[in-house]
Amino acid sequence: MTIAPETVGVIAGLTTSAFWVLTTIFFTAGGKRIGVTAVNTLRMFFAIILLGATHLILFKTVVPQIPSTMQWGALALSGFIGLTICDQALFAAFLDIGPRRALLVMTSTPIFALTFGYLILKESIGLVALAGIGITIMGIAWVVLQRQSKGNKERHPHLIRGYTLAVVGSVCQSLGAMFAKIGMGSGETSVDPLAATLVRMIFGLLCMTPIVLISYRMVKKREPGSSKLRWTPGILFTLAGAIFGPFLGVWLSLVAIRSVPLGVAQTLLSLSPVMILPFVGKLYKEKLTWAAILGAVIAVGGAGVISMAGSIEKYLGITERSSDENTGNAAGHPACERPAQHGARPDAGEV
């Protein structure tokens, strides 16, 4: 029994969002003990070790097999833009405007991804999948807006800068995904998502190193007592976060990006603000509202619409066209078709 690539992509995207909830929890716990700068450095280091070891086991080599220089460059750009710039901008936005507002802006990532996929990758998105993207974005935005809508008296003096940084993070996340999709190629030049993840992580760490060193010096000046923090549990939390985030999470995110159109993949990868809701009560002492729960239902419903877009369009007769008009991919997901000149899809069930 084979699994359609689109189904693999949807499952990978949803699983990635769940893993990013876990990595957020672990990194938050680690950051409270050893500081954000140490967590950012260690997570990349741990991820490269885990990815390299897995690559060695599966492919008998630690050197990723990338067919062309162009693909190396695309994956390197993806690591720099999607892992270095995006993370730095997003973390700064958290400080300037708070996580709630920053996450709300980040829900625009699928919009940028859809735009870049259409303009650069020439991807086409069906009306039903587009509606699913809109529903999911609406649900996520509703949840983020409602979670701290009452009793929040925080003041953020750098709103414009914070919103700008959040938009930069959103754009960079979608651009990073697009370059990753280009770097992974298709057909004979297809690159395994694990190898692509390893390359992205290496270049992301290399590009982040100067920023981390500068930040570490600044933190040491502001927090001279940081050496007294509890390093052992902090490192363990960071290791756990690296397993579910930069290792499994980023790997599965590339599976999703390669298997379904960019806008659809980014929507599925944006569900973590909703999925974290069951944990906020016990871990962060936040009270869930009915509005937040309803928003979660809307977002999950949108993801369902995306995953069933092909069946829905066939049922509604939206995809019926003559054989001359077809793109040669009629057996695939009607909402996820691409022009034939961009290469063949991965084999069914291939991850």
pLDDT tens track for 244-289: 988 898 889 889 988 888 778 877 887 887 888 788 777 766 677 7
**Between 320 and 187, where is the model more confident?**
187
Question: Residue 209: its pLDDT value, please?
Answer: 82
**Which helix (H) or strand (E) is 204 found in, with range?**
helix 193-222
Question: Residue 220: its pLDDT value, please?
Answer: 62
The predicted model scores a pTM of 0.72
**321 DSSP assignment:** -
**pLDDT, average across residues 214-232:** 62
Report yes or no: 106 and 154 within 8 Å, Cβ to Cβ.
no
Question: Residue 31: its pLDDT value, please?
Answer: 74
Which residues lie below 8 Å from residue 339, measured CB to CB, with a gap of 6+?
122, 124, 327
Report yes or no: 303 and 16 within 8 Å, Cβ to Cβ.
no
**Between 41 and 334, where is the model more confident?**
41
Report yes or no: 15 and 253 within 8 Å, Cβ to Cβ.
no
Q: In degrees rounded to 5, what are phi and psi of residue 68?
A: -135, 160
Rounded distance between C-alpha atoms, residue 104 and residue 240, angstroms: 26
Rounded distance between C-alpha atoms, residue 294 and residue 289, angstroms: 9
DSSP three-state, residue 338: coil
Report yes or no: 43 and 242 within 8 Å, Cβ to Cβ.
yes
Q: Which of 59-63, 149-153, 258-262 has the lowest mean pLDDT?
A: 149-153
Q: What is the mean pLDDT of the chain?
A: 77
pLDDT tens track for 297-342: 888 788 778 766 777 878 888 754 433 333 333 333 333 333 333 3
pLDDT tens track for 68-113: 999 999 999 999 999 888 877 877 777 677 666 677 777 777 778 7
